[in-house]
């Protein structure tokens, strides 16, 4: 009697910061405390002309992330995302940014209702995905990650982003703006209102 082979499961736990700017540059920063590749930070950018860019700290991360999400350009650069009393100080190749983080957001108050062990469970995330997409268009908690992979986003906390300053390729980013329209790197975006989310991402791969 044959049985379906178990999927390989990779888990990434950390924080994702999503920021829009008045220059049209949109920034998604992953600060991963635990992952199959150790602790690292990476940056997804969407430029005003729609070009998508991955800034990765090494070739291994670049290969895995670009095999999971869609990018027009992939660059391996020194990536530093440091938490400060005000928020996050970010340096990644031609990107420099200071991101100010405020108090818990309305989304953060909602997700705190669900115990963390449930909020991170792929079965729960698959079940609530249709509701998540209705509440926050463009977002989702479960979907395809390409190459036969399935991805699950388990958000356990969220804080508002209150400001951003910096430059991309020497040009000012401008001030804070919504993530609207949604960024389009994978099956889901981040909330329209810029914020930082505590998240565990689970990626299941065929074996």
The pLDDT, as a whole number, for residue 137 is 63
The pLDDT, as a whole number, for residue 3 is 47
Q: Which stretches of the chain score pLDDT less than 50?
A: 1-5
Q: Which single residue is written with the structure tokens 């100080």?
A: 89
Contact 154, 141 (CB under 8 A): yes
Judged on CB neighbours under 10 Å (0-12, 13-18, 19+), 115 is: exposed
pLDDT digits (tens, 9 = 90+) for 69-87: 889 999 999 999 999 999 9
Percent of the chain at pLDDT > 70 equals 93
Distance from C-alpha of 17 to C-alpha of 88, rounded to nearest angstrom = 9
Reduced to 3 states (helix: H, G, I; strand: E, B; else coil), residue 156 is strand
The pLDDT, as a whole number, for residue 189 is 64
Contacts of 55 (CB under 8 A, 6+ apart): 42, 43, 44, 45, 75, 77, 79, 92, 93, 95
DSSP-assigned states of every residue in 75-102: EE--EEEEE-SSEEEEEETTEEEEEEEE
The Cβ-side half-sphere exposure at 132, using a 13 Å CA radius, reads 25
The pLDDT, as a whole number, for residue 183 is 81
DSSP-assigned states of every residue in 122-153: HHHHHHHHHHHHHHSTT--SEEE-STT-EEEE
pLDDT digits (tens, 9 = 90+) for 150-180: 889 899 999 999 999 999 999 999 999 998 8
The pLDDT, as a whole number, for residue 184 is 75
Strand partners, 8: 205
The pLDDT, as a whole number, for residue 1 is 42
Q: What is the pTM of this model?
A: 0.89
């Amino acid at each position: 009697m044959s049985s379906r082979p178990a999927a390989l499961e990779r888990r990434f736990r950390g924080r994702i910061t999503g920021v829009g700017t008045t220059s049209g540059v949109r920034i998604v920063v992953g600060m991963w405390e635990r992952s199959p590749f150790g602790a690292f930070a990476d940056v997804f950018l969407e430029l005003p002309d729609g070009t998508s860019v991955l800034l990765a700290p090494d070739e291994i991360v670049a290969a895995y992330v670009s095999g999971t999400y869609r990018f027009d350009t992939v660059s391996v650069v020194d990536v530093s995302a440091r938490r400060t009393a005000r928020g996050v100080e970010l340096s990644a190749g031609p990107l420099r940014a200071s991101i100010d983080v405020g108090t818990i957001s309305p989304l953060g108050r909602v997700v705190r209702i669900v115990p963390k062990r449930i909020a991170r469970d792929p079965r729960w995330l698959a079940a609530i995905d249709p509701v998540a997409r209705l509440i926050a268009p463009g977002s989702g908690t479960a979907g395809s990650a390409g190459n036969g992979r399935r991805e699950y986003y388990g958000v356990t906390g969220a804080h508002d982003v209150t400001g951003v300053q910096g430059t991309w390729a020497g040009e000012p980013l401008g001030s804070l703006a919504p993530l609207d329209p949604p960024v389009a790197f994978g099956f889901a975006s981040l909330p329209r209102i810029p914020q930082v989310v505590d998240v565990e991402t689970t990626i299941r791969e065929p074996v």
